Amino acid sequence: MSTLVVIPARYASTRYPGKPLVELRGASGQPKSLIQRSWQAAMAVKGVDRVVVATDDDRIRAASEAFGAEVVMTSTTCRNGTERCAEAHAALGGGFDIVVNLQGDAPLTPHWFVEDLIAGLKANATAEVATPVLKTDGAALNGFLADRRAGRVGGTTAVFGVDMNALYFSKEVIPYTGQTYADDAETPVFHHVGVYAYRPAALAAYPGWEMGPLESLEGLEQLRFLERGRQVLCVEVDGKGRKFWELNNPEDVPRIEEMLAEMGAD
């Protein structure tokens, strides 16, 4: 099955304008933009046929082409990354069996997260969309709770049924536990990793659906599938000791740089 990875990137982020071009320093101190680090994460995924950056901004296009990425220009009317992936897939002529949305704010995404996600979608013939979830330890959960207390949008959490089909995703920390966890303790809260794998028919249908109230309130694109009664498969992935964090706010930059240094990433 042929697989396309699309990295949607826009300059005009509401919370963090210009985020794809923010420079992050790794172990060597060398600065690389967020979009370059996300592209490198995508290029490390095995079994992928093509990787493209999808943007509507010439600054992002120029920066991406400078480090060797293939770029697909998309319209300014795309409301989120899923719509941008749909437009990019169509612009490339379609034909891929699976389209992966590796969002441009997740440079720490391990390659096996995406590989396991693709394998999970291939193994479930009825799933139209799949997305990874990662069980949090106390340190990650406490970080999410601290962000919410400070009024920051931190990680997204997910709840799902015994069949691994998603019940809900939220920027609030769900489910509520009422317990205190040590940093190294396992918790019942799952971090939603912002990567998606779509079957082409579901991806093509998505832009034609109106945005529902839950998506509007939470600002989470995957809720449009749930609001339309579409199945979203949650694929549990193993962090293997690797720390994972998304760049949502300027305050996340030093945190991600520290993680890059700990990984030994340039």
**pLDDT tens-place string over residues 179-220:** 999 999 999 999 999 899 999 999 999 999 999 999 999 999
What share of the chain has pLDDT > 70, as a percent?
99
Q: What is the pLDDT of residue 242?
A: 80
**Which two tokens mark 95?**
């034909």
CA 177 to chain centre: 25
Number of neighbours of residue 73 by Cβ within 10 angstroms: 15
Q: Which residue has the tokens 């600054």?
A: 59
Distance (Å, whole) CA 244 – CA 97: 28
- The whole-number average pLDDT for the span 161-179 is 96
Position 59: which residue type?
Answer: R
Does residue 221 register a pLDDT over 90?
yes
Q: Residue 21 carries which DSSP code?
A: G
The reported pLDDT for the residue numbered 47 is 95
Q: Is the pLDDT of residue 15 over 80?
A: no
Q: How confident is the model at residue 13 (pLDDT cuts 50, 70, 90)?
A: confident
pLDDT at site 154:
75
* Averaged pLDDT score across all residues of the chain: 93
CA proximity to 71, closest of 93, 86, 96, 50: 50
Residue 105: band (very low, low, confident or very high) from pLDDT cuts 50, 70, 90: confident
DSSP conformational letter for 185 = S
> For the chain, what percent of residues have pLDDT higher than 90?
76
Which two tokens mark 73?
């220009």
Sequence-distant (6+) residues with CB within 8 A of 80 are 8, 221
